[in-house]
Chain A
């Protein structure tokens, strides 16, 4: 590999590494959002169950 080829390869690798890091960060953020949606879902179910129990007792 010539010096020019090494530098060109490095430049293109930098671009793809940059895009890859960005995609990984977005993926991590989406994972966090998925987890938060799950928590909200569980909280909503719990609230609905509590309400049902209150109605049954009442």
Chain B
């Protein structure tokens, strides 16, 4: 929480520059430093961004739920808008997870999508659940009722995150690789370093985009208030 609190005081241009630098380092590591996987070869390099984007999407949904809780519990002013923007970011990153996952599935398994795979279907369910959040939100007139409905929905959705995450472990076919176990990650050396840098880069990118969108939404709300004043 302290890290997030400190990050919220960092100016937006500095965040943007830091994301750009970290993303460049991550891509350099992915394509020039990380070794080829013994099993999958070059195509395993999709892993660095695919898994990092998936965790970033989970983080965004969790942040959306946390802000929703703050709205319902503490009546934090602005928490509803922050929750909405976090869920929006989560859906964007969720789309990227599905797209990069499909490409990786095609080259590794020979199929774009497998309906029999629990972890894929559960992630799709999680993704569609959050897509429906927007339908609910925009079907209610702006005001406290919309904020309350959205907050309750965002809180329910967070339950699906551990289910989706654990599905990879409980899946019977074990087609989807299990990269994190109770004993730590299933890889080390440069692969681990590259993954950590890519994860940090994507989390920072998501946070920067979150701040940009939030600034725009707050500005929009203030302009609306001025218009009707």
Complex: how many Å from CA A4 to CA B39? 13
Does A8 count as interface, using CB distance less than 8 angstroms? yes
Interface residues on A, range: 20 to 34
Question: Residue A11 contacts which of B41, B50, B212, B226 (CB distance < 8 angstroms)?
Answer: B50
Interface of B is mostly: helix
Whether, in the assembled complex, B95 has its beta carbon less than 8 Å from a beta carbon of chain A, the answer is yes
Q: B104 to chain A: which residues have CB within 8 Å?
A: 7, 11
Residue of A10, A19, A23, A37 touching B223 (CB-CB under 8 A): A37
> Is B79 part of the contact surface with A, judged by Cβ < 8 Å?
no
Tell me which residues across on chain A come within 8 A of B27, comparing CB atoms. Answer: 12
Using a Cβ cutoff of 8 Å, how many contacts connect chains A and B? Answer: 62
The answer to the question of A51 belonging to the interface, with a C-beta cut-off of 8 Å to chain B, is no
Stretch at the interface among B131-139, B151-159, B213-221: B213-221
A-contact 0/1 string along B150-188, CB 8 Å cutoff: 000000000000000000000000000000000000000
Give the distance to chain B from A26, nearest Cβ to Cβ, in Å.
6
B100 on interface, CB distance cutoff 8 Å = yes
Distance between Cα atoms of A19 and B20 in the complex (Å): 12
Query: Do A14 and B99 contact each other (CB < 8 Å), given the known contacts A7-B106, A33-B223, A40-B226?
Result: yes
Q: A8-B45, A15-B53 are in contact. List 9 more A-B contacts (CB 8 A).
A: A7-B106, A10-B103, A11-B104, A14-B96, A14-B100, A19-B209, A26-B209, A33-B216, A36-B223
The 6 closest A-B pairs by CB, nearest first: A4-B42, A4-B43, A7-B107, A11-B103, A11-B46, A11-B100
Query: Which chain B residues have a beta carbon within 8 Å of chain A's beta carbons?
Result: 27, 41-43, 45-46, 49-50, 53, 92, 95-96, 99-100, 103-104, 106-107, 205, 209, 212-213, 216, 219-220, 223, 226-227
